[in-house]
Amino acid sequence: MESDEIRGLTEGKVPIEGTDPPTYLFSFQHIANDRFRLGEDQRGGKCLNVLLLGLTGSGKSMIGEVMGNYALGVDYRDPHRFRVKKDGSTNRIISYTFFTRDRKKFPHPVTIIDTPGLQKGTQADDQKLIEDIYAYTKDIDIHAVVFVVPGSQGRLTAEQKVVLANMAKVLGGRIPGIHDISYLFCTFADSKRLPVLEAVKDAGLKYKEYFPVNSSSYFAKEEEDDRFSFDEEEVKRKKLKMMSVNESSKMEKKQFWHQRLKGGKAPIGGKDLPTYLLPFQAIPNKTHWFRLGEDQQDVQQCLNILFLGPTGSGKSLLLEAMGNNVLGVEYGDPYRFRVKEEGPTKQITSHTFFTKKEQGRFLRPVTFIDTPGFQTRTPEDDQKLMEDIRAHIWSNHWLGIHAVIYVFPAFQWKLTAKQKMVLENMFQVLGNETNSISYLFCTFADCKRPPVLESMKEAGLKYKEYFPVNSSSYFVKEREDDGSSSDEDNESINKLLWTMTTESFEAFKIAIHPKKFVLLVFGGIVLAVGIGLILGIFTESVGGAVAGSLLVFVVYQAFLFTCACTRRIADDRFRLGEGQRGEKCLIVLLLGLTGSGKSMLGEVMGNYGLGVDIRDRHRFRMNRDYGPTSRITSYTFFTRDRKKFRHPVTIIDTPGLQKGTLKDDEKLMKEIRDFAQNMEIDAVVYVVTGSQGRFTAEQKVVIANTAKVLGDKIPEIHDISYLFCTFADSKRLPVLEAVREAGLKYKKHYVVNSSSYFAKEEEEDDGSSSDEEEVKQEKRKTMSINELLWKMTTESIQDFMMDILDCEARKKKVEEMKRQEELKRQEELKRQEELKRQEELKRQEEMKRQEELKRQEELKRQEEYKRQEELKRQEELKRQEELKRQDKYKRQEELKRQEDLKRQEELKKQEELKRHEDR
C-alpha cells in the first residue's frame, strides 16, 4: 500500500517519454553544487552515505536508480517506476539524498553518490577523477563504498586491472580499513555463477562481501512476444505435440552418436556438468583448421561463420554453446561438449562440423572461425590481428564467408572512445560488403532488448539482425530440488535463458541460409544459357552455342572471383592479385581540386589496366562508394593485362584540395607526404577540369602549391608531372592557359573523358519510333561520340603509360650511365690512389736511401773522428814519451852534472887536502 508521501511523486506528473512501465523523474531539490535531496529532513537523524565506483559502462548509475526505487518501496507488481535522472552517461560527481523513503527498507536517510566511470579517457583523466572524488567527499563520512563490476566479465584487460586496483585508493588514507566497508556489486548477473569474482581477485581488489544484481529487471516490461515466450507449460505442450516414434528413434541415434564422441574418455575436471573435449582432427595442408567427422560431400557446401569481438566479450563461450547446439545437445542431457580447451583464444582457428542431417541441427557442414579478442594490447596489435584474419580466410576459406558474427556483451550500454575504435577496426576486417551477412550476438543477455543495441547504433555498426544469448546457460548444472525456493528460481532462470539462447540459434540458422551465393551462381548459368542461345541462332551450330555458354560461365565466375580478390594490404592500401619478388611497380599519384574527377580517372586507369574494351558488357570499380574521396588510398594492380600495364601499377587517390581552408590543404599535403614517404613516385598527375577557362585567386594559390605536395623529395618534379584535363569533349582546352597563368609546371598534358568508360551504349529498338531511319542515324551518331571519347581517353592513358615507361627506360639508361660513370670514377680514383701509393712507396724508399746515406756518412764521420782522436792520442802518447824521454835525459844530465859537481868537489877536496898536506 502506497503512502501519501510516495503517491504524491506520481500524481499530476507526466512519465518519461518512451518508458514502459511508466517511469517518473524524481522531484529532487537542489541543495548545493551537484547535491540534491528528495523530501525534508524532519528528524535530524544520521544519514548513511554510499559511494558508487566502477569502470565506464559497468552499470553504476543503474544501481543508483534501483536503490532509489527500493528506497521508495517499489514492488515488482507496481505499474510505475522512478528515475533519479534521465538517460545518459554520468559526466560529473552527483549526490542524491533520500529523506522521502519507505522506512522499513531504509530506516535512516541515505545519500547515494554517483561518479563518472573510470577508464573513460587516459590514465591522467582517471587520476584527475580520483582527485575530484576525494575533494567532493572530504567533508563527508562514507559508510559504504560500492565497487560496481559486470558479473559476467570473466577476463580483464591489463588496463582494467590497473584501474580496478586503483579504485580502492580513491579515498586515499582517510579510511585505514576501507575494505571493511567495501562491497562488490556484480551487475547484469543471471545466476549465482559470477565469472568476474576470479578476475577481481586477480586484480587484487579487496571487499567485505559481494552481491549479484540485475538492475534491468527493475525496469523491464513483462514480455508478450511469442518468439521468446518463457511459458514452461507451453514449451512442454509443444514438445509433447512434436514427439513421435520417429523422434524417439532420432533421439536414440543421437545418444549413440554422442556416446561415440565421448570416446570413453574421462570428462574435463572442475565443471558443473560432465564435459568432454570433442575429438577434432587437423586437416592436412591447412593452417589451424580442424574437422569433426568425415567430409561426405563437396567442401564448397560448407557454411563459414566468422566470430569477431573485443577481449572478454564471450566469443569462445558462444562458439562452445553453438557447437553443443549443432550437435543437438538438449537442456536435460547430463553432459556437455567442448570444442577446444578452456582459456583465452590466442590464435585464429577454424573448426568444421561434418554432421549428418539426422545427427546435428545444421543441414549442411558448418565451420566456426574463432579469433583472438580485439583490444588485447595496442592498436598496432589490433591492426596485425585484422591482417592475420584476412590471411587465414584467404588461405583456408577462399570461397568466402557466409556470416560474420559481432559479439558484444548485452549490458554494454556505453562505449569508451577506445572501444569505439575497436568496433571500427572489427567492421573493417572484411569491409562494407559484409553488411548483408553481419549479425550481432548480445552475450550475457537476460532480456529481449539488450542495452548494447543503443551503443551499437551510436557507434554506427551495421548488421542485419541481432540475437540475445546467454552462453553460460548451456553449461550450468540443473539443480536438484532441495525445498529451497531460491534454487527453484535459479533453475527456472537457467531454463528460460537456455530457451532464449536456443531460439536465437534457430533464428540465426534460418537467417544465414546462403541465398546470395546460390543467386550468383544461378545468375551465371542464366547469363551463359542466354548468350549460348543467341550464339546458336546466329551460328546455327549447337556445338558453338554450348562452347559459348561454357566460356561465358567461366568468364563470369572468374569475374566474380577477381572482384572478391581485392585485398587490403595495410591501412588504406589495397592490391589486386599477388606480386612477384623483385618486380618493379610504377607508382602514380593523383592530385587535384575537389570535383576535378581524380577518382573517376583512377577508375578508368584501373579498367584500362585490366584490358576492358568498349564492347565488353561489364566494367570494374576500385571503390564501392560514389561520394567524394575522404582519405588517401592506394590501389596496386598485380592482376592486369600485361600489354596495357607492362609493370604492376599503384594508383594513389587523394582527397580534393580546396575542400576547406588553406590550413586544411596544408594538412592534407603533409598527410600525402607522409603516405608516400617510403615510395618512389614515377608520375604525379595533376587533374583539372578541361573546360575551366579561369581560376579564382584561391584556386591559383592551391594549384601553384600542388607542386609542393612532395616537398624536396623530388627536386625536378616537373620532369615526372603530367596534366590530365577531364570532362573534355574536344582538343580545345581553355584550362591550359589558366594553368600556365597559375605557374604550374608539367611535362605533358592529356585529354580524357572518364564518363565515356562507364556510359551505356544505346541499343537499337526497331519499331520503337515512327521515323525509324532518323532514330537510327541519331543513335549511330551518339554511339560514334561515345566511341570517339573512349578512343581519345584510351589513347591518352596509353600515351601516358608509354611516357612513364620511356621515362623509366630513360631513367634506367641515365642510371646505367651514372653507374658506368661512377664505375669509371671509382676506377680512376683507384688508379690515382694506386699512383699515390706508388709515389708514396718511392718517396719512402728515397727517404730510406737518404737516411741510409746519412747513416753511412755519419758512420764515416764517426770513424774519421775516432781515427783523428786516435792520432791525437798517439801524438799525445808520443809527446808524452818524448817529454818523458827528455825528462829522463834531463834527469840523467842533471845526475851527471851532480856527479860531476860531486866529483869536482871531491877533486877540489882532494886537491885541498893535498895542498893542505903539502903545507
pLDDT tens-digit map of 77-112: 888 888 888 767 788 899 999 888 888 888 889 999
d(CA 547, CA 532): 8
Strand, coil or helix: 350: strand
Least trusted range by pLDDT, from 599-613, 711-725, 772-786: 772-786
Question: Residue 230 pLDDT more than 50?
Answer: no
d(CA 476, CA 615): 65
Mean confidence (pLDDT) of the chain:
78
Q: 596495357: which residue's cell?
A: 644
Helix orientation angle between 452-459 and 417-427, rounded to the nearest 10 degrees = 70
- More confident of the two residues 253 and 466: 466
**Angle at alpha carbon of residue 748, lines to 743 and 752, rounded to 5°:** 105
Contacts of 564 (CB under 8 A, 6+ apart): 400
pLDDT at 685: 93
pLDDT at 560: 44
DSSP letter (8 states) at residue 374: B
pLDDT at 486: 47
Residue type, 735: V
**% of the chain at pLDDT higher than 70:** 77
pLDDT at 344: 78
- More confident of the two residues 696 and 225: 696
721-726 and 683-689 beta bridge pairing: parallel
**Res. 146 pLDDT band, cuts 50 70 90:** very high
pLDDT at 538: 54
d(CA 465, CA 443): 14
Least trusted range by pLDDT, from 51-65, 89-103, 402-416, 418-432: 418-432
Q: What are phi and psi of 31, to 5 degrees?
A: -100, -55
d(CA 518, CA 385): 31
Question: Residue 298 pLDDT more than 50?
Answer: no
Number of neighbouring beta carbons within 10 Å of residue 812: 12
What would the 3-class secondary structure string for 435-492 be? HHHEEEEEECCCCCCCCHHHHHHHHCCCCCEEEECCHHHHCCCCCCCCCCHHHHHHHH
| Domains, the chain, ordered by start | 4-212 (3.40.50.300), 273-477+493-512 (3.40.50.300), 573-760+784-809 (3.40.50.300)
Question: Residue 675 pLDDT more than 60?
Answer: yes
Across the range 656-660, mean pLDDT stands at 72
Strand, coil or helix: 692: coil
pLDDT at 61: 85
Across the range 220-227, mean pLDDT stands at 53
Helix orientation angle between 772-918 and 598-609, rounded to the nearest 10 degrees = 90
Handedness of CA 136, 140, 145, 146 (dihedral sign): negative
pLDDT at 183: 94
pLDDT at 431: 66
* Helix or strand (DSSP H, E) at 539: helix 515-539
Question: Residue 512 pLDDT more than 60?
Answer: yes
Residue type, 755: S
pLDDT at 559: 46
**Res. 119 pLDDT band, cuts 50 70 90:** confident
pLDDT at 617: 84
Q: Using one digit for the tens of pLDDT, what is the confidence trace for 872-915?
A: 888 888 888 888 888 888 888 888 888 888 888 888 888 888 88
Least trusted range by pLDDT, from 215-229, 484-498, 561-575, 832-846: 561-575
Residue 678 grid coordinates = 617510403
Contacts of 388 (CB under 8 A, 6+ apart): 348
Provide the edge-to-edge strand list for the sheet that holds 289-292.
281-282, 289-292, 349-353, 366-370, 303-308, 403-409, 438-443, 465-468
Number of neighbouring beta carbons within 10 Å of residue 262: 16
| pTM, full prediction | 0.46
d(CA 57, CA 118): 9
d(CA 375, CA 419): 8
Question: Residue 418 pLDDT more than 80?
Answer: no
Across the range 641-652, mean pLDDT stands at 87
Q: Which of 418, 406, 475, 491 is nearest to 443 (CA)?
A: 406
d(CA 58, CA 524): 51
Q: Which of 315, 375, 361 is nearest to 339 (CA)?
A: 315
pLDDT at 543: 60
Least trusted range by pLDDT, from 55-59, 400-404, 537-541, 635-639: 537-541
Contacts of 252 (CB under 8 A, 6+ apart): none
**Alpha carbon 703 to chain centroid, angstroms:** 35
Across the range 330-336, mean pLDDT stands at 87
Q: 551463359: which residue's cell?
A: 528
